[in-house]
């Protein structure tokens, strides 16, 4: 696994889209996770997150990014980790298909580490029981010496129904 330092420049991230085996590595509660760089639109720092009432605990709310309303998913809550202040977090903006539309979603993570080149042969696929709550979106584990990174499928992790509900809810004015 070859490692490259991550950048927060959207233009540089766009140039890296050509390699399908590059992953953005980030941390949640001291565990390393990775998502395909092809799904990453940009990385942004602290943002004001508007909470939406009556949503699932892992849906933090929405942000306004250059005029676009983007739902934000708290990966700590999604993975049943202790809560942390959003002010100490980073948002990874990813692209996802929802029905026939390409939509943006934010992933609230503790820290973004690097962009890593991971060969397919370095990925160990897991046979998790179907009843395991994360089995449908864990792609596998990338191993490098004594370090492991859990690889996630963004499309499967973010449900269409959650994304659509957040976008609909964000168009309503709350007093």
pLDDT tens digit sequence for 17-28: 445 689 999 999
The structural domain count of the chain equals 1
pLDDT tens for each residue of 26-74: 999 989 999 999 999 999 987 889 988 888 888 888 999 999 888 899 9
Q: Are 63 and 50 in contact (CB under 8 A)?
A: yes
- Paired tokens of 24: 């953005």
Domain presence at residue 123 = yes
pLDDT of residue 44: 92
pLDDT tens for each residue of 91-138: 889 887 766 777 888 999 999 999 999 988 888 887 755 455 556 788
Domain with 8, as residue range(s), is: 2-170
The gap between the terminal CA atoms of the chain, to the nearest Å, is: 50
Q: What percent of the chain has pLDDT over 70?
A: 73
Residue 73: closest CA among 87, 55, 59? 59
Domain presence at residue 33 = yes
Cα–Cα distance for residue pair 116/150, rounded to 1 Å: 13
Domain presence at residue 161 = yes
Output the furthest CA–CA distance in the chain (Å, rounded). Answer: 53
Read off the pTM: 0.77
Cα–Cα distance for residue pair 123/135, rounded to 1 Å: 16
Domain presence at residue 175 = no
Query: What CATH number is attached to the domain comprising 48?
Result: 2.40.50.180
pLDDT tens for each residue of 139-163: 899 987 788 999 999 888 887 666 6
Domain presence at residue 86 = yes
Q: Tell me the residue length of the chain.
A: 175
């Amino acid at each position: 696994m070859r490692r490259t330092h991550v950048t927060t420049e959207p233009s540089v991230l766009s140039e890296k889209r050509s390699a399908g085996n590059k992953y953005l590595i980030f941390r949640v509660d001291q565990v390393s996770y990775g998502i395909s760089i092809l799904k990453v639109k940009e990385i942004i720092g602290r943002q004001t997150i508007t909470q939406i009432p009556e949503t699932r605990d892992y849906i933090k709310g929405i942000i306004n990014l250059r005029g676009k309303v983007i739902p934000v998913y708290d990966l700590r809550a999604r993975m049943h980790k202790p809560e942390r202040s959003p002010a100490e977090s980073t948002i990874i903006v990813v692209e996802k298909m929802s029905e026939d539309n390409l939509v943006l979603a934010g992933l609230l993570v503790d820290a973004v580490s690097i962009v890593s080149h991971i060969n397919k042969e370095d990925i160990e696929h897991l046979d998790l029981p179907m009843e395991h709550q994360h089995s449908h979106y864990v792609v596998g584990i990338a191993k490098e010496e004594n370090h492991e990174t859990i690889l996630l499928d963004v499309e499967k992790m973010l449900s269409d129904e959650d994304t659509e509900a957040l976008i609909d809810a964000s168009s309503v004015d709350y007093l």
